[in-house]
Chains A and B, each alone.
Chain A
């Protein structure tokens, strides 16, 4: 069939109507060289994006039986989606259409009308040339499973599971250890603003255990995962036995939490096991058990709490230490009001609206806050200089260190297994720090809680709820997903198996077929970024709608 291309110039009022000689454009197009086999139908209209314009264009497409469409108008940012809608309505595959921006690129910036017109013609010609080589693409709908795998049974993982489990969505919760609750389960209390305190954790554990839509796998880790949003096939493996569980899930939530860095590993804090120096988690454990005591069993009469241990070395503030150190100070004061508690801090970090009240309350308890510019430890003797003061030394019965939170030990292995990115600090990396903070580089894999960065209990739960929000929107029970259509494809005959594309793919969309010795693109995962296409040395890859031929035709005509 002979191609018949409709070319519609939008006047856009005076914006194109007065800046470009439209009659000359319409006259020139049918006589373009090299298109003798193609029927070119150029027309103009007042305002194509108006309701009347859209109706007109749709009717023109149907009445004329165009095989392709070029719209010469404004920036695609303004109205590309408008005209895609018109094509769909008129029954023309939208991948056989192209918008050409003759307003911003020509009319608005070139004051000589003839020159602007010349450039507009050149652009339109390049659009005609490209559109001829474009192919129809079709959206596919894929079935999905709404079920979710949560890795990690701490507070974030439990909250995510509880937010998602329902009669039409099953949640599998894999926990590496033999019990749910994570580190927070050991805390005697949470922050005072967290009114219900540690009961919250116990309530969550009970709710998870009683929820028939949540299946808990204790002593279990992720062994493998392949697939994409809506369709992951995962294998869980027991870490004490050989039990394997195959699951099909639509999304994976990582909630593997954090670990406390070893405070003794930081300069100035090297202490011996026999010293009365403890990490904050050790104090939590003592407080939850027999009470906080020295190795002799005696209760300490004086305690130093030191903030920001490892902040400089790690290169980040752990966000919650100021708050939990005040909470720990409260443990000592509750144990004995006579305990002399001194907190050494660099910057008091109180980013939540209720935190300042907690600080004021702590001051009221008689806790001595000392702002320091330097500090060092020798046994339980603290050498420090307050801001604005000289060096001093104070001796204490006990010292408690708030060391930096760091990624939990299996973070790197899990990232490797799931092919998702870590940030420079070793935490899981967000898809976008500001606008997409719970997603990762792979669609359908989310990260919540302190595995994404230092977080407290409340923030971890909020992240879990945010992820639940994302999954509820993306994976509706009984729903389908529509993957990107402008994806890469591999021409098997040309692939030499060099694996360059595997290196450059940021989405884990390419895998290597060992039997065939070639790379394979998983079209459901590919986002069409074109990295593989650009890097393939043998020209075996192409990205749909951005093929070499299409780009070459577009560029050569534009440069003619």
Chain B
């Protein structure tokens, strides 16, 4: 297959998966590169998505299934782009594929291998709120539904002691602890980068008590706490104490000033959390400590109006710098300045910090590997940022989704679709026949 019939998509979240499916539909061969052992991206961490509170799994699982079943998409999990060579329609992309130690073709996902594994470690996919074994899938419903072995913690692979428990437990001979990492070179005409984003490190603002008080949560921690396939099976209880919170403060705009931008989605997920809390804990008091309300889609104001007053009390916080979360003995105390600048205080059991979306921690390395630029904020730079573009600083490489900047799911999908359009036009222009057609056009 010639170069211009094949595309590398980096990142298997919503944007990357949508782009891959469209490209496959257009007759291209797609190599979908994902660092995690599963596909689905950030969306699958959420039980329900705003604004329609649709079940996220129901939105995403059919897309995941279609990706995994497509004969034209090669899904490469536990994989990362190492470098790229060549240019304009003739790239060679080098991908490092870490060993999974479980053969995807042989595994049926029965899960018999986890039980006997003697190792238990914090599950990072669950925001360390739960534990997993050294052979694991991150959560129930993972796709592909095939475990991976974490070689750092596996007794045998880390050389700590001889252990063959998972190998023996597998009825299908699918566990292969002799599996090796490999490096693959992929010939591709174009690349789409859809690696998503990260979350602002709340512990960098000591006033907010994250990492110090068990009752202070990040948005993803709260999503996993709420999720019925999460570590508490959806029970909202505070870590360490197991207490059910009666009063919850959701603090908006954490990191906005430090990052220098509004993320455009935090207001909405904060309101969604108010809805979640009232759904499971109808007696609870919920406070949203906010500044500007940013509800920029046609349907978002309605969602806000639907929770304001009924699901949450709206408290205006006029200064993030002066907001302080501390212990009041039994729980937490939030001190803030109200709209008139007067100091106010509320006692709560739980605090959720609505933090800014920031560049993914792997963005710098990937930018170097691909030879593309990042903007001043660290997101991947697109040409002509202000007008509209999905083209990176390097011809043939395109950007989609929150890798380009904070945005909601709808905007990520729109950008992915636009990127596919540009990739197809670009590949078309790389064909030798295109040059002839252009010459003919000019003649005519």
A residues near B (Cβ < 8 Å) are 12-15, 47, 49-51, 77, 81-82, 159, 163, 166-167, 190-196, 200, 212, 311, 315-317, 319, 347-357, 373, 387-389, 423, 425, 427, 433-438, 453-454, 457-459, 461-463, 465-470, 472-474, 476
B305 touches A349 (CB 8 A): no
What's the Cα separation between A387 and B341 when bound, in Å? 10
A355 touches B419 (CB 8 A): no
Instruction: Report Cα–Cα, A489/B92, bound state, in Å.
Output: 51
Q: Is the interface of A mostly helix, strand, loop or mixed?
A: loop
Evaluate whether A473 and B26 lie within 8 angstroms (CB atoms) in the complex, with A350-B261, A389-B340, A458-B387 already known.
Answer: yes
**Which chain A residue has the least Cβ–Cβ distance from B264?**
A351
A167 touches B298 (CB 8 A): no
User: Closest residue of chain A to B265, judged by CB?
Assistant: A351
CB of B299 within 8 A of chain A? Answer: yes
* A-side contacts of B441, CB under 8 Å: 167, 212
Q: Report the Cα distance A352→B444, complex, angstroms.
A: 43
In this assembly, does B59 line the interface, its C-beta being within 8 Å of a C-beta of chain A?
yes
Give chain B residues whose Cβ lies under 8 Å from the Cβ of A435: 14, 18, 59, 63, 409, 413
Q: Is the CB of A473 within 8 A of B420?
A: yes
B322 to chain A, nearest CB (A): 14
Chain B neighbourhood of A200, CB < 8 A? 387
- With A348-B292, A356-B260, A433-B51 as contacts: A469 and B377 at CB distance below 8 Å: no
A154, chain B: closest CB distance, angstroms: 14
Taking a contact as CB atoms under 8 Å apart, the answer to whether A353 and B405 are in contact is: yes
Other A-B pairs, 10, CB within 8 Å; known A355-B261, A437-B413: A12-B108, A14-B171, A316-B300, A317-B295, A317-B301, A353-B405, A387-B316, A388-B339, A463-B414, A472-B421
Q: State whether A50 touches B106 (Cβ < 8 A).
A: yes
Please report the total number of B residues contacting A with Cβ < 8 Å: 77
Q: Which residues of A contact B425 (CB under 8 A)?
A: 163, 468, 472
B261-A311 in contact (CB<8A): no
Which B residues are in CB contact (< 8 Å) with A465?
388, 390, 417-418, 421-422
- B204 contacts A by Cβ under 8 Å: no
Interface residues of B in 375-425 (CB under 8 A from A): 375, 377, 379, 384-388, 390, 405-407, 409-410, 413-422, 424-425
A167 to B435, CA, bound (A): 12
Assess the A353–B406 pair: CB atoms within 8 A: yes
Residues of B within 8 A of A159 (CB): 388
Listed residue (A373, A433, A468) with the most chain B CB atoms within 10 angstroms of its CB: A433
Taking CB atoms, residues of chain A closer than 8 Å to B26 are 472-473, 476
Decide yes or no: A470 and B417 within 8 Å by CB, A200-B387, A433-B410 being known contacts: yes
Q: Nearest-CB distance from B68 to chain A (Å)? A: 10
Shortest CB-to-CB span from B90 to chain A, Å, is: 21
B150 in the interface (beta carbon within 8 A): no
A82 to B105, CA, bound (A): 12
Task: Report the minimal beta-carbon distance from B213 to chain A, rounded to whole angstroms.
Answer: 29
In contact, A434 and B409 (Cβ under 8 angstroms): yes
- Taken together as a complex, chains A and B put the C-alpha atoms of A436 and B112 apart, in Å, by 38
Minimum CB–CB distance for A539 against chain B, Å = 32
Q: From A439, which residue of chain B is reached at the shortest CB distance?
A: B417
Query: Is B199 in the interface zone, CB < 8 Å from A?
Result: no
Chain A's nearest CB lies how many Å from the CB of B418? 4
With A and B bound together, what is the CA distance between A472 and B424 in angstroms?
Answer: 7
Give the shortest distance, in Å, between A358 (CB) and chain B (any CB). Answer: 10
Q: How far is the CA of A529 from the CA of B305 in the complex (A)?
A: 34
The CA of A81 and the CA of B341, in the complex, are separated in Å by: 62
Q: Which residues of B contact A212 (CB under 8 A)?
A: 441, 444
B interface with A by C-beta (< 8 Å): 14, 18, 22-23, 25-27, 49, 51-52, 54, 59, 61, 63, 65, 69, 105-106, 108, 110, 112, 171-172, 256, 260-262, 264, 292-302, 305, 316, 318, 338-341, 375, 377, 379, 384-388, 390, 405-407, 409-410, 413-422, 424-425, 428, 437, 440-441, 444
Beyond A195-B386, A353-B379, whether A466 also contacts B262 by CB under 8 A is no
CB nearest neighbor in A for B417: A466
Contact among B49, B59, B292, B420 with A347 in the assembled complex (CB-CB below 8 Å): B292
Question: What's the least CB distance linking A435 to chain B, in Å?
Answer: 6
B416 contacts across to A, CB distance below 8 A: 466
Residues of A within 8 A of B410 (CB): 433-434, 437
Do residues B298 and A195 form an inter-chain contact, with CB atoms below 8 A? no
| 27 A-B contact pairs sorted by A residue (CB < 8 Å) | A47-B108, A50-B106, A166-B428, A167-B440, A190-B387, A196-B386, A200-B387, A316-B298, A317-B295, A347-B293, A350-B261, A350-B264, A352-B264, A434-B54, A434-B409, A435-B59, A437-B414, A462-B388, A462-B390, A463-B414, A465-B417, A466-B415, A468-B418, A469-B417, A472-B421, A473-B424, A474-B25
Pick the residue among A13, A349, A351, A433 that contacts B171 (CB under 8 A).
A13
Q: Report how far A433 CA is from B256 CA in the complex, Å.
A: 27
Q: How far is the CB of B303 from chain A (nearest CB, A)?
A: 10
CB-based nearest A residue for B387: A194
Name the residue on B nearest A458 (C-beta). Answer: B388
Q: How far is the CA of A506 from the CA of B347 in the complex (A)?
A: 51
Given contacts A50-B106, A316-B301, A434-B59, contact A196 B69 (CB under 8 A): no
Please, how many angstroms separate the alpha-carbon atoms of A358 and B260 in the complex?
11
CB distance from A448 to the nearest CB of B (A): 10
Contact A349 B294 (CB under 8 A): yes
Q: How far is the CB of A524 from chain B (nearest CB, A)?
A: 18
A residues in contact with B112, CB < 8 Å: 13-14
Q: Which residues of B contact A474 (CB under 8 A)?
A: 25
- Name the distance in Å between A462's Cβ and chain B's nearest Cβ: 5
A17 and B133 alpha carbons, distance in the complex (Å): 26
- Chain A contacts for B406, CB-based, 8 A: 351, 353
Distance of A388 Cα from B26 Cα, bound (Å): 57
Residues of chain B within 8 A (CB-CB) of A387 are 316, 318, 339
Q: A353-B405, A388-B338, A437-B414 known; A469 and B108 CB under 8 Å?
A: no
B residues in contact with A350, CB < 8 Å: 261-262, 264, 292, 294
User: Within the assembled complex, what's the spacing in Å between the Cα atoms of A467 and B419?
Assistant: 11
Q: Is the CB of B302 within 8 A of A315?
A: yes
Q: Which residues of chain A have C-beta atoms less than 8 A from B419's C-beta?
A: 469
**In the assembled complex, which residues on chain B have CB atoms less than 8 Å from the CB atom of A81?**
69
CB distance from B300 to the nearest CB of A (A): 7
Contacts of B25 in A (CB 8 A): 473-474
* Complex interface: chain B residues within 8 A of A354 (CB): 261, 385-386
B414 to chain A, nearest CB (A): 5
Kindly list chain B residues whose C-beta atoms are within 8 Å of the C-beta of A467. 417, 421
Contacts of B407 in A (CB 8 A): 351
Determine if A167 and B420 form an interchain contact, defined as CB atoms under 8 angstroms apart.
no
User: Do A317 and B300 have beta carbons less than 8 Å apart?
Assistant: yes
> Nearest Cβ in chain A — how far from B278, in angstroms?
22
Nearest first, the 4 A-B pairs at minimum CB distance are A469-B421, A351-B264, A388-B339, A388-B340
Q: Report the separation of the CA atoms of residues A159 and B384 in the bound assembly, to the nearest whole angstrom.
A: 15
**Given contact pairs A50-B106, A388-B318, A473-B26, A466 touches B421 in the complex (Cβ within 8 A):** yes
A47 to B105, CA, bound (A): 11
A49 to B174, CA, bound (A): 14
Q: Pick the residue among B262, B305, B420 that contacts A472 (CB under 8 A).
A: B420
Contact A193 B59 (CB under 8 A): no
Q: How far does the Cβ of A310 sit from chain B's closest Cβ, in whole Å?
A: 12
Please report the C-alpha to C-alpha distance between residue A523 and residue B233 in the assembled complex, in whole angstroms.
45
Contact indicator B296/A349 (Cβ below 8 Å): yes
B261 touches A13 (CB 8 A): no
Partner of B262, one of A315, A351, A433, A459: A351
**Closest chain B CB from A513 CB (angstroms):** 34
Q: How far is the CA of A350 from the CA of B253 in the complex (A)?
A: 12
CA distance A34 to B301 in the complex (A): 60
Residues of chain B contacted by A459 (CB below 8 angstroms): 388
- Looking at B171, B339, B387, which has the most chain A CB atoms within 10 Å of its CB? B387
Residues of A near B418 (CB, < 8 A) are 462-463, 465-466, 468-469
Query: Who on chain A is nearest to B28 by CB?
Result: A473
- The interface residues of chain B lying within 8 Å CB-to-CB of A14 are 110, 112, 171
Q: A83 to nearest B CB, angstroms? A: 12
Using CB atoms, name the residue of chain A closest to B424.
Answer: A472
